[in-house]
């Protein structure tokens, strides 16, 4: 069973086609990247897969649940980290996680246990009692990832997870993403327009532009096809 399958998935806004007949098969346990410039259709694609938008045509399944006919089952199977901040700055880190657990009707004991697990995973246990408005940008992103993991989703969507972060914080967040993929055995769908990010994190990458997938393969194979010489600088 694949984690995600789409067949001719399409989304139109009046005469504009944002996503144009996308076909995907994403494996369980894979970190899969959607790489492309702003406006390429990446966010629209994951918005359909996460049931936030209904497709104009085509079909898609997440963990074999139909994104139109079985929305509630899809939502129970996924976690989501949005491109724009969505935390409550006036609550503590722990309170944000507790609120999310209540939305998913997790009982009190399970919520407490899971909160401590995800805080440890993203190394925020020492700041859990602080108001989120005192967190750095990188800490907020880590808390958002922790929140997305609270209900043990099978698939986690990360929409531009390092947008606006400094290079050092971005690299640390990459390490957390790899760690949760390995330790939580979770399938991750990542959108980004950073080629280095997709190369470092993803098992496979789909390059999307103008709503169409123009290439799909491993980072190594795509670099063989499209790449030239690369110089990497290591500050350490």
Residue 236, pLDDT score: 55
Taking the C-alpha atoms of residue 60 and residue 222, their distance in angstroms, rounded to an integer, is 25
Residue 108, pLDDT score: 94
Neighbours of 83 (CB within 10 A): 15
Report whether 160 contacts 81 (CB < 8 A).
no
SS3 content of the chain, % helix, strand, coil (to 5): 40, 25, 35
Alpha helices by DSSP H, the chain: 42-49, 71-77, 93-103, 108-121, 137-149, 167-184, 195-201, 219-226
Partners of 131 in the beta sheet? 92
Report whether 59 contacts 47 (CB < 8 A).
no
Residue 165, pLDDT score: 84
Residue 149, pLDDT score: 87
User: Which secondary structure element, helix H or strand E, spans residue 24, and what is its range?
Assistant: strand 16-26
Q: Which residues contact 129 (CB under 8 A, 6 or more apart)?
A: 92, 93, 94
* Secondary structure class of 88 (helix, strand, coil): coil
Alpha helices by DSSP H, 92-207: 93-103, 108-121, 137-149, 167-184, 195-201
The closest of 117, 55, 50 to 82, measured between CA atoms, is 50
Taking the C-alpha atoms of residue 146 and residue 143, their distance in angstroms, rounded to an integer, is 5
Neighbours of 5 (CB within 10 A): 17
Full pLDDT tens readout for the chain, 236 residues: 899 999 999 999 999 999 999 999 999 999 999 999 989 999 999 999 999 999 999 999 999 999 999 999 999 999 998 888 889 999 999 999 999 999 999 999 999 999 999 999 888 999 999 999 999 988 998 999 899 889 889 999 999 888 888 888 888 889 888 988 988 889 999 999 888 999 999 999 999 999 999 999 999 998 887 665 555 656 55
């Amino acid at each position: 069973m694949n984690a995600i399958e789409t067949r001719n998935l399409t989304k139109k806004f009046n005469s504009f086609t944002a996503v144009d007949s996308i076909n995907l098969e994403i494996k369980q346990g894979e970190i899969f990247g959607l790489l492309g410039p702003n406006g390429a259709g990446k966010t629209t694609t994951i918005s359909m897969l996460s049931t936030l938008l209904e497709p104009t045509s085509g079909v898609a399944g997440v963990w074999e649940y139909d994104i139109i006919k079985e929305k509630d089952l899809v939502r129970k199977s996924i976690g989501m980290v949005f491109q724009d901040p969505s935390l409550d700055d006036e609550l503590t880190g722990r309170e944000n996680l507790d609120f999310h657990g209540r939305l998913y009707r997790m009982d009190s004991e399970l919520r407490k246990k899971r909160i401590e697990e995800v805080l440890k995973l993203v190394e925020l246990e020492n700041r859990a009692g602080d108001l989120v408005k005192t967190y750095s940008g990188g800490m907020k992103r880590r808390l958002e990832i922790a929140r997305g993991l609270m209900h043990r989703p099978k698939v986690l969507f990360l929409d531009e997870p390092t947008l606006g972060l400094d290079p050092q914080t971005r690299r640390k967040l990459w390490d957390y993403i790899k760690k949760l993929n390995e330790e939580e055995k979770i399938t991750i769908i990542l959108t980004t327009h950073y080629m280095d990010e997709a190369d470092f994190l993803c098992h496979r990458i789909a390059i999307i532009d103008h709503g169409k997938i123009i290439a799909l393969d491993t980072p190594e194979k795509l670099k063989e096809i499209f790449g030239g010489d690369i110089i990497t600088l290591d500050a350490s």
